Structure 1
Amino acid sequence: MEFFTERLTIRMYRSEDLQDVFHIYNNEDTCKYLLHDKWTYENMQEKFNKKLENSVLTKDTTLSLAVVNQTQVIGDLSVWYTDMKDTVEIGYSFSDKFAGRGYASEAVGGLVSKLFDEFNVHRIQANLDARNKSSQKLCERIGMRKEAHFIQDFWNKDEWTDSIIYGMLLSDLG
């Protein structure tokens, strides 16, 4: 899969993307609300290889996509089917060096449109750590609605955390 937004190319990962992706995930702040710890030099190749393998979206596989600005990977998008019919969940992370320029909204908004158009999904959702205010704002900017706030429902990184679920249907794209 490859598609374009106004300023970005969204495409499959290539082996030469390793260092750019490492920069995204070697950041404590970026990984603070994710399910995994920051990448290290010791595990970066193994972690990156999983992104390279995630090249198709099926009921059993996750799709990982590089968000490219000119020649640099500035973001990572992931999509996977949930157990509910025609429903996918999305995840995303972006380089802190490119924050505040609208790239995340552009990329995730483009992905959402592509999923409705080409994959005929019924519903798209995002499950967030409630402390991740930037991610909440991103979901709202692209037209997702806050549907649930669960209190201390998720054990992650040695603490109970709140979860927020955002969701949207094709009719929400307006």
Structure 2
Amino acid sequence: MEFKTKRLTIRPFKNSDLDDVFTIYNNDDTCRYLLHDKWAHEDRQAKFNKKLENRKLTKERTLSLAVVENAKVIGDLSVWFTDMKDTIEIGYSFSNEASGKGYATEAVSSLVKELFDRFDVHRIQANLDARNIASQKLCERIGMRKEAHFIQDFWNKNEWTDSVVYGMLLSDLHLADN
């Protein structure tokens, strides 16, 4: 799966992307609300290899996509099927240097359109740490609806955290476009 937006190319990862991706994930702020800690230099290749393997979305396999601006990877998009029929979940991370320029909105908005078009899915959702306000705002900007806020429902990094769920149907996408 590869596609372009006005300013970005979204494509599967390549071996040459390792250093750019390490820059994204070797950052405490970026990883604060993710399920994993920041990447260490010693295991970065092993972690990156998993992204290289995830080149095609299937019921069993996650799709990992690089968000590229001027030949530099500035973001990482992840897509996987949930256990619910025709439902996909998305996740995303972007470099600090990409912040505030609209790249995340452009990439994630284009991603959901591509997913609805190519995979005939019923629903796309995002599950977030409730403290991640920037990610919540991104979901709302692209037309996702906040559907739930769970209190201390998720144990991560030695603490109970709240989580929020955003969802979108194809009809919501059309509303966002108007």
TM-score bin, normalised by smaller chain: over 0.9
Deviation per residue, 1:117-142 (Å, 9 max, x gap): 11111000000000000000000000
Cα distance in structure 1, aligned partners of 2:24 and 2:5: 21
Deviation per residue, 1:35-90 (Å, 9 max, x gap): 00000101100000000000010000000000000100000000000000000000
Residue correspondence of structure 1 range 51-70 to structure 2 within 5 A: 51-70=51-70
Cα distance in structure 2, aligned partners of 1:163 and 1:98: 25
Instruction: Give the secondary-structure state (helix, strand or coil) at the position aligned to 1:83.
Output: coil
The one-letter code of the counterpart of 1:9 is: T
Cα distance in structure 1, aligned partners of 2:170 and 2:70: 30
Question: Structure 1-normalised TM-score?
Answer: 1.00
Deviation at 1:154?
A: 0.1
Deviation at 1:2?
A: 0.5
Cα distance in structure 2, aligned partners of 1:65 and 1:119: 16
Cα distance in structure 2, aligned partners of 1:161 and 1:86: 28
Deviation per residue, 1:89-136 (Å, 9 max, x gap): 000000001100000000000000000011111000000000000000
The CA RMSD measured in Å over matched residues stands at 0.4
Cα distance in structure 1, aligned partners of 2:101 and 2:126: 22
The one-letter code of the counterpart of 1:112 is: V
* Gapped regions of structure 1 (runs ≥ 5): none
The one-letter code of the counterpart of 2:76 is: D
The one-letter code of the counterpart of 1:68 is: V
**Given the alignment of the two structures, is residue 139 of structure 1 paired with residue 170 of structure 2, yes or no?**
no
The one-letter code of the counterpart of 2:99 is: A
State the partner residue of 1:5. Answer: 5
**Given the alignment of the two structures, is residue 80 of structure 1 paired with residue 80 of structure 2, yes or no?**
yes
State the partner residue of 1:165. Answer: 165
Runs of 4+ deviating beyond 2 Å: none
Identity over the aligned pairs, expressed in percent? 75
Cα distance in structure 2, aligned partners of 1:15 and 1:50: 11
Question: Structure 2-normalised TM-score?
Answer: 0.97
* Gapped regions of structure 2 (runs ≥ 5): none
Cα distance in structure 2, aligned partners of 1:93 and 1:119: 22
